[in-house]
Amino acid sequence: MQRMATSSPPQHPPGSAAAGAPVFSPLYQQIKALITRSLQSGEWKPGELIPSEAELATRFGVSQGTVRKAIDELAADNLLMRRQGRGTFVTTHHEEQVKFRFLRLVPDDDSGPALRMDREFLACHRVRAAADVARLLGVKAGDMVLEIRRVLRIAGRPLVYEDIYLPAAPFRGLTAERLEGYKGPLYALFESDFGTRMVRAEEKIRAVCAGADEAGLLQVEPGQALLSVERLSFSYGDQAVELRRGLYVTTHHHYRNTLS
């Protein structure tokens, strides 16, 4: 049986009970939890090379195979990225293959090159959280949150209207001017300037009819069918850090996901 030579034992990794008798957790899952803890603490920052499997095996007192299995899962979770001949890196939303990870809307004919999506920010201000927003973000009703409204366009035509809510404290200093001046993906800005990395998201999708205001912003007829997507995004430690409510025009686009 392998022994983990760490300075302190892991504290309730995933799969163990927070109180009472612990639930069995495979060794590689414990190593995965320890590596995730290092990512969360900022020991290895987005875009940085992490230690080799051999170095991590020595650090944790386990075999390289155990470390490799943990890294395989973290790569499948898009937290780490293997690069042939170079090592394993912390993924970043600045990377081309990662930065649009959560955007699943694609043209009906998606055989050609990806279309450039332009954005227009309509508002960025602090508001008091409504009860439903507060519940999802884990703050108190009436606490301050940052509300961002924007329209995304392809080839000049509006395709998505979004309301985005962020807890105010982690995003102090985020202004409309800062959003307008940043040319990269929004999640890359959150990652590099505010130390908040989106690692997973949950979505709810339904069909709705466009109201008068939404129809005007999206240049469709009132009552037209739209796709409503509510996304709750999480950082390390399953901390909810963004609520995004979007309306999508799907006349020439569809929402594509891969299930496994």
Structure confidence at residue 163 as a pLDDT band (50, 70, 90): very high
> CA-to-CA distance for 251 and 107, rounded, in angstroms?
9
DSSP string, 137-179: HTS-TT-EEEEEEEEEEETTEEEEEEEEEEETGGGTT--HHHH
Predicted pLDDT at 10: 46
- At the top level of CATH, the class of 27-90 is mainly alpha
Specify which residues 238 forms β-bridges with.
none
Residue the block writes with tokens 């709705």: 208
pLDDT-derived band at 149 (thresholds 50, 70, 90) equals very high
Residues of the chain with CATH 1.10.10.10: 27-90
Which residues of the chain form CATH 3.40.1410.10?
A: 96-255
- Tens digits of residue pLDDT in 167-191: 999 999 999 999 999 888 888 899 8
Q: What's the CATH superfamily of 96-255?
A: Chorismate lyase-like (3.40.1410.10)
pLDDT digits (tens, 9 = 90+) for 25-65: 789 889 998 998 888 787 888 888 999 999 999 999 999 99
